[in-house]
Chains A and B, each alone.
Chain A
Amino acid sequence: MAAIIKESSDRASRKPYINPYLGGAGMGLVLTFTYVVMGRGMGASGFYGSIASFIARLFAPEAAGQNIFFQKYLDPARAPHPLMDWLVFEIIGVLIGAFISGWLGRRLAFTFYKGPRISNTGRFLFAVGGGMMLAIGAQLARGCMSGQIISGAPLLNLGSWIVTLSMFGAGYITAFFVRKEWR
């Protein structure tokens, strides 16, 4: 593993990303396959909910059982065990697939991205804080970019299209206010 990462981390040998239309079409075929076999789409935010619910039940079983957020993930009708959830296994697949692609493209590296006017610490705090906003947004939206937008929009789900439009709108407004992070 260390050899793979070392060999792959030389930035000069990186391969370019593929065309977004080709990537998007590949994604569309994977998603169609999932709908045809499973009758459901992809997701991501539910993975975090399942893991958090598992941890909560481990340390405070009673409180977790009474909380409506954790109850959804701890429901035996959803999964026999919170770690046996469909989205947990899907995300394990995402880690494997992304690692293979990054390795083939020689893009494995312990790096991070930021603009010139923000410190490393500042960027890290924004990453954690932004992640928390995403989690809360996903609870209200009943899914994230994967579950509501990429998977829900092709079903012409009205709620998914509301999430899509408000997500893009808020993104452009927020970009102005956090321009010191990136520009």
Chain B
Amino acid sequence: MVPLIPSGVLSESYGLLIAVISGIGFGFFLERAGLGNSKKLVGQFYLYDMTVFKFMFTAISTTLAAIYLISKFGVLDLEKVGFVPTYPLSAMIGGLLLGAGFVVSGYCPGTSVVGAATGRIDAMLVMLGMFLGSFVNALISPLVLGLVNAGGMGKQTVYGYFGLPYEWIVGAIVLVALGGFWGATVIQRKFAAGGVTVTENNFAAK
């Protein structure tokens, strides 16, 4: 029965309307929690503001638990849910570039849209960089093809890979997240006390 559109319960023609509705919710909650602000985003990596970790792992844990429960009771057919195949080498190198790009630019691809929507000039420039980077991607795509497609494992889950029950991994991730929230709060308190140097600037008050 669920997911509604892939199961044919809801017509595919509603897809783009759902895209806008989901996007509004996505942008709204990111901005509400301060993820359209590079001062807060890079705080994760200078340890004075742990909002990124707390937001990300609350979102992951909530969705993880919800998907586990509704698939356990047979409402959600996980076979019909989109699942990106695993290519470990490409995932690792791509992840490294994403982490470096996050701190260098101050945003990630989604949060730059959030920052830009509220007028942040640095976020608009990150969006420009993403567009330019997409053309670089086109230029290098034949060169990195071998790397991108190396060692494909198909649809690979964490519990399948380690041969452990689904619920164990769900429980472990929620517990690690809860422990992490406590640790993050302690770290943040210590490093925020040392002073935060990032400021919000405009051209007028130069």
Contacts and interface: CB of A to CB of B under 8 A. Distances in A.
Contacts of B23: 42, 89-97
Contact of A113 (B39, B135, B140): B39
Contacts of B183: none
Contacts of A146: 26, 108-110
A62 to B, nearest CB: 14
Contacts of A175: 42, 45-46, 103
B187 interface: no
Interface in A123-172: 123-124, 126-150, 152-172
Contact of A40 (B40, B81, B104): B81
Contacts of B134: 48-49, 51-53, 69, 135
A22 B55 CA distance: 8
B113 A170 contact: no
A153 to B, nearest CB: 5
Contacts of A27: 25-26, 29-30, 55, 58-59, 62
B119 interface: yes
Given A48-B131, A181-B104, A150 B60 contact: yes
Q: Is the interface of A mostly helix, strand, loop or mixed?
A: helix
A156 B164 CA distance: 12
A92 B31 contact: no
Nearest to A42: B26
Given A21-B54, A131-B128, A139-B144, A33 B25 contact: yes
B62 A28 contact: yes
A131 B91 contact: no
> Interface extent on B, as a size class?
35 or more
Contacts of B37: 17, 113
Contact of A23 (B2, B29, B103, B158): B29
Contact of A68 (B10, B141, B147): B141
Given A52-B134, A156-B157, A157-B83, A136 B140 contact: yes
Contacts of B19: 38, 86-90, 93
A145 B31 CA distance: 15
A135 B137 contact: yes
A159 B84 CA distance: 8
A97 to B, nearest CB: 3
Contacts of B166: 156
B101 A137 contact: yes
Contacts of B101: 130-134, 136-137
6 contacts: A90-B19, A99-B118, A109-B202, A113-B122, A126-B104, A129-B104
The 9 tightest CB contacts between A and B, nearest first, are A131-B129, A93-B23, A130-B105, A135-B133, A28-B62, A141-B94, A24-B58, A23-B33, A137-B97
Given A126-B106, A143-B84, 7 more contacts: A130-B126, A134-B109, A136-B97, A136-B136, A145-B110, A146-B26, A159-B153
Interface of B: 2-7, 10, 15-16, 18-40, 42, 44-46, 50-51, 54-64, 66-67, 70, 76, 78, 80-88, 90-123, 125-138, 140-142, 144-145, 147-148, 153, 156-161, 166, 169-170, 173, 181, 197-203, 206
